[in-house]
Amino acid sequence: MPRKLSHYDRSGRARMVDVSGKPATLRTAKAHGFIKISSKALSAIRHLKNPKGNPLEVARVAGIAAAKRTADLIPLCHPLLLTHVDVECRLVKTGIEVESSVTTKGETGVEMEALTAASVAALTIYDMCKAMDRGMEITEVYLVEKRGGRSGTYRRKSTRTR
């Protein structure tokens, strides 16, 4: 295996990258997700008529919990001490936008934690609303921004498809 693949050793086995020699720095990441929902289901959510309760609040808490468990879900992710996680869910015309933000002071970034938070929040909305709309679509899960570490800042150029 070429040495350029950081998550493989010389014999081609998957490995966790050793970050012990890297300095601890402030690192942040933001991620986005979208779930397309029928207008009827959106109206029920807006008027708090969902039979399972408020999916936006439950999704927010689920996203926060998921960020904290990312290393349990993604095999080669490092367990991180997160210093802040936030998830916001906003009703828009055709569905719900999910935005997550994660912060740590550590040797590796929090992009996967932010993406996991946005993804799990969207999945939670699906779970809580599936009785009203089984045709929901989770789309546009992507990294919005990351700051810190050796590679510096990344900011996605807006290229939404809807």
Is 9 assigned a catalytic role? no
In this structure, is residue 88 part of a structural domain?
yes
Report the percent of the chain where pLDDT is more than 90: 73
Spatial distance between the Cα atoms of 58 and 116, rounded to a whole number of angstroms: 15
Taking the C-alpha atoms of residue 158 and residue 162, their distance in angstroms, rounded to an integer, is 12
Contact status, residue 33 vs residue 122, Cβ threshold 8 Å: yes
pLDDT of residue 18: 75
Residue range(s) defining the domain that contains residue 44: 25-148
Burial pattern 84-123, b for ≥16 Cβ within 10 A else e, equals ebbbebeeeeebbbbbbbbbbebbbbbbbbbbbbbbbbbb
Rounded CA gap, 69 and 71, in Å? 6
pLDDT for position 2: 44
CA distance linking residue 158 with residue 137, whole number of Å: 20
Q: Is 9 a member of any domain?
A: no
Q: What is the pLDDT of residue 10?
A: 77
Say what the pLDDT of residue 162 is: 60
Q: Is residue 85 part of a domain?
A: yes
108 lies in some domain: yes
What is the full per-residue pLDDT of the chain (162 aa) written as tens digits?
A: 444 667 767 777 777 777 877 888 999 999 999 999 999 999 999 999 988 889 999 999 999 999 999 999 998 899 999 999 999 999 999 999 999 999 999 988 899 999 999 999 999 999 999 999 999 999 999 999 999 988 889 999 876 656
**Choice among 18, 86, 127, 133 that is catalytic:** 127
- pTM: predicted TM-score of the whole model, two decimal places: 0.88
Residue 158 lies in a domain: no
For residue 55, tell me if it sits in a domain. yes
> CATH number of the domain that 82 lies in?
3.30.70.640
**Count of domains in the chain?**
1
